[in-house]
A and B are shown apart, each in its own frame.
Chain A
Amino acid sequence: MDPELFRREKERWLEDTYGATPEEGGPFHTVSSEDVDPLYGPADTADLDYERDLGFPGEFPYTRGIRGNMYRGRNWTMRQFSGFGTARETNRRYHFLLERGQTGLSVAFDMPTIMGLDSDDPVSEGEVGRCGVAIDSVVDMQTLFDGIPLDRITTSMTTNAPASILLAFYLVTGERQGARFSDMGGTIQNDILKEYIAQKSWIFPPRPSMRIITDIMAFCSSEVPRWNTISISGYHIREAGSTAAQELAFTLADGMAYVQAGIDAGLDVDDFAPRLSFFFNSHIDFFEEIAKYRAARRIWARVMRERFGARKEESLLLRFHTQTAGCSLTAQQPENNIVRTAFEGMAAVLGGTQSLHTNSMDEVLALPTEKAVEIALRSQQVIAHETGVVNTIDPLAGSYFVEHMTDRLEEEALAYFDEIEAEGGVLEAIEKGYFQRRIADAAYRYQMEIERGDRVIVGVNRYVHEGESPEIELLKVDHAIEREQVDALERVRRERDQAKVGDAFQELKHRCECDDNLMPAILDCARAHATLGEIVGVVKDVFGEYRERPIY
């Protein structure tokens, strides 16, 4: 139907047919508070040019997917984020997951490790091993991967401010297993910009942090070519309360800032861009999420080619990991979270994700039990093998609604890019609190929608049984592990060659003060059994520490 005719006919239909019975249950908007029309049609995709805007899977602009045969060639990697207690306990969980068909590993570190602190640091008290695994030195890393060949399995590590050091621990672990760096694959999150924006686990100020990142990119492109050096993450931006469009825009803006930093550091864009990957949230609004992933691929491909002049095809591909939305889960009636997660997982797959973590139903209460994490993994396997969504590529392409939503998200993202540019770029926008304020506003609006009853959350503000309390078994992390970890750390410090550690620190400090790549020095620190907190301390002495101005 001609778009103009459709527009006229839609007016008539709204009046005569749709309007014949009253609406019930609105407002009809996405989880990002965007209004949704009752019906989409030819007028909403009138400007869509198949060749220009969609193309074929594996071909520019990759809207329909980055691989030619997508899941018919290979399923996404089922990668459950996992870690708790000591390296020994987490190693057991990894073997459990691998035996049940998980295809990659993803390490959750505890908060001291994330913040670059040793387990015996006074501020680590009470936090050791509680929401991830405690890693103090390469010795812990060796225990973590005991019996897991690092040249055969890929590992994603959620580490940012101290990413260079944990990568060094991992590489030295592989080295000691007999693996070659060139055969080791995996990902470090290493996305410090979103830490300042949303996740707030920083150590050093933004500018020296960007230098560390470009050092990692340069080192890995020659020495560890299969390593994904940054996983540019929207996940935490979304969890902090952003809308889908903000998640998309802020993440891609961060990505562009990293590319620019690499180019400014003298690297060839095609040498490092193929190793950049992304990490998105999959929230509960099914179609909005699918559209977000499609828009992300298209924007990135165009930006890389047109703005940064990338020539290699691999530089244009937005490869991404997805995690279902922790913030969509409810502490009330937690079993319902299985259902939410399954829908969110399916949206990620329909959006063409390369790997997926599905949350466990109990993660809103504690770290997941084995049973809960097994159900979460099984949900992915059901999506992959039973639902049929993998049979054809990008099955929602051409849907008036999904294409319209894809275009709309792209437009919104481009408008945000302009705003960020007007703020002076990503770093300045961070320093001015631009992102933080935008996200806090969106989070507050969302909460108020729930409280007004404009947004229904099952089991929270509707379908509530009075007096119910969740009766599911929760994982408990024994407080004794803190003592155990601290004892082990003291043993490492006692048994190492102190002179070697001192030399390694001196070299690292020297490199921090000049422009030489930090990675070889950090690797030597790791080999000498220097601890995470000690290495961070050396770097901090030169680079200083970041402090945020609290705004709400």
Chain B
Amino acid sequence: MEREARARRVLVAKPGLDGHDRGAKVVARALRDAGMEVIYLGLHQTPEQIVQAAVDEDVDVVGLSILSGAHMTIFPKVLDMLREKGAGDIHVVGGGIIPEEDMDELERQGVAKLFTPGTPTADIVRFIDSL
């Protein structure tokens, strides 16, 4: 229960080259409205930039939105780089246009949870709270 002592710090970022930031922004705002501390990095973030910011900002959770089809490249990179930096305890969650079998594989590799389109933001808040 000690973890409850401080609000969850969540880094929300949009890796990859596409500009579909609607989902990331809606989720960022919903997390903020739920009382979390949100750092929104914005668009076109490389895995290096995301991991560096996650470490610098000492976040609990990294949330990534990917709609360009590059999820099988980006998620594993972020996971690996977090581990390399000794920050493997930071949870990685995500969402976007991701086929089910890819989701299974990414969750096997260590992504805490991937949310499909249509997920209520309340479910995302609940999940992050439960981490």
| Contact of B17 (CB < 8 Å), options: A114, A195, A450, A552 | A114
A239 and B22 alpha carbons, distance in the complex (Å): 8
| Contact of B97 (CB < 8 Å), options: A241, A365, A470 | A365
A551 and B29 alpha carbons, distance in the complex (Å): 10
| Contact of B40 (CB < 8 Å), options: A130, A470, A552 | A552
A183 at the interface (CB under 8 A from B): no
| Contact of A111 (CB < 8 Å), options: B22, B68, B72 | B68
B25 touches A440 (CB 8 A): yes
| Also in contact, A127 and B17, with CB within 8 A (given A365-B97, A447-B121) | yes
Interface of A is mostly: loop
| Also in contact, A241 and B22, with CB within 8 A (given A126-B74, A330-B117, A331-B118) | yes
A477 touches B69 (CB 8 A): yes
Chain A residue at smallest Cβ distance from B18: A111
B117 touches A200 (CB 8 A): no
A388 at the interface (CB under 8 A from B): no
Which of B1-9, B41-49, B83-91, B105-113 faces chain A? B41-49
A469 and B22 alpha carbons, distance in the complex (Å): 24
| Contact of A457 (CB < 8 Å), options: B18, B20, B118 | B118
| Contact of A450 (CB < 8 Å), options: B12, B19, B120 | B120
Chain B residues with CB below 8 A from A331, complex form: 116-118
Chain A residues with CB below 8 A from B55, complex form: none
Chain A residue at smallest Cβ distance from B73: A126
B118 touches A443 (CB 8 A): no
Chain A residues with CB below 8 A from B42, complex form: 548-550
Interface 1/0s, chain A 98-128, versus B by CB < 8 A? 0000000000000110110100000111110
A550 touches B41 (CB 8 A): yes
A444 at the interface (CB under 8 A from B): yes
| Also in contact, A474 and B99, with CB within 8 A (given A117-B17, A127-B70) | yes
Number of interface residues of B (CB under 8 A): 36
Which residues of chain A from 343 to 392 have a CB within 8 Å of any chain B CB?
A: 364-367
Chain A residues with CB below 8 A from B16, complex form: 111, 126-127
A393 and B17 alpha carbons, distance in the complex (Å): 42
A461 and B121 alpha carbons, distance in the complex (Å): 12
Chain A residue at smallest Cβ distance from B116: A331
A240 and B67 alpha carbons, distance in the complex (Å): 13
Chain B residues with CB below 8 A from A366, complex form: 69, 97, 99
Which residues of chain A from 376 to 433 have a CB within 8 Å of any chain B CB?
A: none
B100 at the interface (CB under 8 A from A): yes
A460 at the interface (CB under 8 A from B): yes
B121 touches A130 (CB 8 A): no
| Also in contact, A447 and B17, with CB within 8 A (given A130-B68, A332-B118, A474-B99) | no
Chain B residue at smallest Cβ distance from A240: B22
A199 and B21 alpha carbons, distance in the complex (Å): 8
A552 touches B117 (CB 8 A): no
A327 at the interface (CB under 8 A from B): yes
Chain A residues with CB below 8 A from B22, complex form: 239-241, 327, 443
Number of interface residues of A (CB under 8 A): 47
Chain B residues with CB below 8 A from A364, complex form: 97, 117
Chain B nearest CB, measured from A132 CB (Å): 9
A503 at the interface (CB under 8 A from B): no
B40 touches A550 (CB 8 A): yes
Chain B residues with CB below 8 A from A488, complex form: none
A127 touches B68 (CB 8 A): yes
B19 touches A130 (CB 8 A): no
A477 and B70 alpha carbons, distance in the complex (Å): 11
Chain A residues with CB below 8 A from B18, complex form: 111, 114, 131, 201
B28 at the interface (CB under 8 A from A): yes
B70 touches A200 (CB 8 A): no
A126 and B12 alpha carbons, distance in the complex (Å): 21
B120 touches A451 (CB 8 A): yes
Chain B residue at smallest Cβ distance from A365: B99
Chain B residues with CB below 8 A from A117, complex form: 17
Which residues of chain A from 290 to 347 have a CB within 8 Å of any chain B CB?
A: 327, 330-332
Chain B nearest CB, measured from A413 CB (Å): 22
A200 touches B69 (CB 8 A): no
| Contact of A201 (CB < 8 Å), options: B19, B116, B117, B122 | B19
| Contact of A451 (CB < 8 Å), options: B29, B41, B122 | B122
A477 and B40 alpha carbons, distance in the complex (Å): 31
Given contacts A123-B46, A365-B97, A367-B69, 14 further A-B contacts (CB under 8 A): A126-B70, A131-B69, A240-B20, A332-B116, A332-B118, A366-B99, A440-B25, A444-B30, A479-B72, A548-B43, A550-B41, A550-B43, A552-B25, A552-B29
Some 14 contacts from A to B, beta carbons below 8 A apart, are A117-B17, A126-B72, A127-B16, A127-B68, A200-B20, A200-B21, A201-B18, A366-B97, A440-B25, A444-B25, A444-B30, A450-B120, A460-B118, A477-B69
Per CB-CB distance, the 8 closest pairs between chain A and chain B, nearest first, are A200-B19, A126-B73, A550-B42, A130-B69, A111-B17, A126-B70, A552-B25, A331-B117
Q: Chain A: residues with CB nearer than 8 A to chain B? A: 111-112, 114-115, 117, 123-127, 130-131, 195, 198-201, 239-241, 327, 330-332, 364-367, 440, 443-444, 447, 450-451, 457, 460-461, 469-470, 474, 477, 479, 548-552
